[in-house]
Structure 1
Amino acid sequence: MTSPDLPAHISASLAARLHGVSRSDAAQRSDTISKTYRAGGGSTTIRTESDALAYALARMPATYAAVIASLNALQEIRPDFAPTSLLDCGAGPGTATWACAEAFETLESFALLDANPALRSLAIELARENDRTITYTLGDAPTKIIDAPSADLVIASYVINELADTAREKLVAAMWSKTNDTLVIVEPGTPAGYARILDARTQLIRAGAHVIAPCPHDETCPLLKPDWCHFSQRLQRSRVHKQLKSAELPYEDEKFIYLAVSRTPIAPRPSRVLAQPITTKIAITAKLCTTNGIIAAVAPKRDKALYSKFRKLDWGDAVFEHPSSE
């Protein structure tokens, strides 16, 4: 499994850019950008080199961690997947590209799309400083993707939330048309993010895609409101990260939801742990999404072997074998 922590060489490149920059100014820029994102404003407030740096320092680690967690889940089910080409839609500073490069050593070509000039400039600088050759097209992803090359792996991380319904459907369809093998979409782990993933999932299945993860099936999601599917990835905060976010804890838990689909069906697909398992004195209970719907799988303490397996389970894990529900 690939580490969720941003590679040291990328962290070092970003930190080097802080020399001579006011930390309080960077923190203020970061806070403004974060508030705009939470309000659904996207990258509209990122206009300068300083804005791009503040965004990358504050958000790149968590976004990277969420993408890595999604790719780790994909690799667990598709250990033979060895893509050689990547298309990163709405690439920003190249976060998902770096994650894919770390997860798949077989990748040889990297095509990126984004409409933000400041984020594109930062991505190109990071690539040059770290000996990574990329092709980065500036422009609106739903439009520019028409001329983009097809790729074995296509990814869109924290992107479709910035688009209106029509543009989002257009981009999802275009990404699938450019996908030789696998498409991965990562979104914030909120009810709205889950709803967007569900819409994309439905659209892609109708277009002939097969779900790889996190779902163990291609059927309608069995969760009922107000419940929603999402996961959490813990990452370590650097000193700079803590300063910019005015945080005291040495770690951050990024909530996210993802979807990985392929042109080739995968069987069998494992069940998925949908929440942190509950441990009591007599048993461990795990909420699982299975081919038969949502179940509460129980490992009684008296069953030492099963109990030991369940003690290792974490939220988001794949489960290839499990007992019956209560």
Structure 2
Amino acid sequence: MTSAALPAELAAALARKSHGLSLGDAAARAAAMSKTYRGGGGSTAIRSEADALAYALARMPATYAAVMACLDALAAQRPDFTPRGLLDCGAGPGTASWAAAERLETLRSFALLDANAALRALAIDLMQGSARLTAASYTQGDALTLLAKAEPADLVIASYMINELSDQQRDAFADLAWGKTTDTLLIVEPGTPTGHARVLALRSRLIAQGARVVAPCPHDGGCPLTAPDWCHFTQRLPRSRAHQHLKGAELAYEDEKFSYVALTRAALQPRPSRVLAQPLTTKIAVTAKLCTAAGLDIAVAPRRNKPDYARFKKLDWGNTV
């Protein structure tokens, strides 16, 4: 679990926007929006500039960190991936576009889509501070309608977005998003059992249409995990004092849990096994839960096997083996 702070340009833009802001008011707004999200209301709770800013201050650091972790996993399996265009669906304040601009230097065009006017306005303001995102286009409107009209892109991202759609809408979105994907589609969702279930359903639907899994899975078969277990990962990020206040948190860091899948049209080499939980290290052995091409495996590296023991001690949740 590595740290993933917001890029300096974005942090500076947020600091500028929040100058003179009442943190108490922002915290109250963020808490109210969080309650609406948990109740299934989605971004409808964000109605004003103050709402959008409170949401961005509370959630952008964690969603940025999660998307960055997914892009790192994608790049590790596809070092040859050099996308030129990004289509960011349900872009919100532009978090995924910032992460993609930071991680993928070959990107030249950024097209953002979202229905929320307040989030769009904030995103455009924040992107004025970015050397790469100032030329991005951001269209407001219904996600499915806009997606149907959008130009195809090498990389399509839907970050914390499909949870706001009904089952029927998610199926329609999956088909449309895959149709607009010339190379790779990345879906990121909260790391909850329901978030994992949404990712699995989309994954299965698109594999049936010819998609191949880049990450996190080392195979295109069914998920080997069974309830109450579910596939998710965690990314650590630092919290500023303002962020701690907004979240009502004491710790100077946060661990964002997320589920994701990256699907591609490209041919793939055999994929390595993935660590599905933080390995357990004792004086006797290191034990790691792995998703392998053959299914679930509990791998044990005994201390007497010094090379394997040393290698397994370095493993983190989400690493490949």
Q: TM-score normalized by structure 2? A: 0.97
Contact 1:189-1:230 within 8 A present in 2 as well: yes
| Residue segments in structure 1 that go unaligned for 5+ positions in a row | 320-326
| Aligned-partner SS, 1:212 | strand
Q: In 2, distance between residues paired with 1:127 and 1:277?
A: 39
- How far apart are 1:280 and its partner, in Å? 1.5
Mapping 1:1-326, distance limit 5 Å: 4-131=4-131, 132=133, 133-319=135-321
Tell me the residue number matched to 1:322: none
Contact 1:2-1:102 within 8 A present in 2 as well: no
| Aligned-partner SS, 1:180 | strand
- The share of aligned pairs that are identical, in percent, is 64
| Residue segments in structure 2 that go unaligned for 5+ positions in a row | none
Tell me the residue number matched to 1:324: none
Contact 1:3-1:68 within 8 A present in 2 as well: no
Aligned AA for 2:29? R
| Aligned-partner SS, 2:317 | coil
Pick which of 8-17 and 49-58 moved more.
8-17
- How far apart are 1:21 and its partner, in Å? 2.0
Q: In 2, distance between residues paired with 1:85 and 1:243?
A: 37
- How far apart are 1:3 and its partner, in Å? 5.9
Q: Deviations over 1:137-183 (max 9, x none)?
A: 10111111111111000000000001000111111110100001000
- Structure 1 consecutive aligned stretches of length 4 or more whose deviation exceeds 3 Å: none
Q: In 2, distance between residues paired with 1:6 and 1:35?
A: 25
Q: TM-score normalized by structure 1? A: 0.96
Contact 2:3-2:236 within 8 A present in 1 as well: no
Q: In 2, distance between residues paired with 1:38 and 1:4?
A: 25
- How far apart are 1:248 and its partner, in Å? 1.0
Q: In 2, distance between residues paired with 1:305 and 1:6?
A: 36
Q: In 1, distance between residues paired with 2:286 and 2:302?
A: 7
Report how many residues are paired. 319
- How far apart are 1:2 and its partner, in Å? 9.4
Contact 1:201-1:259 within 8 A present in 2 as well: yes
Contact 1:2-1:68 within 8 A present in 2 as well: no
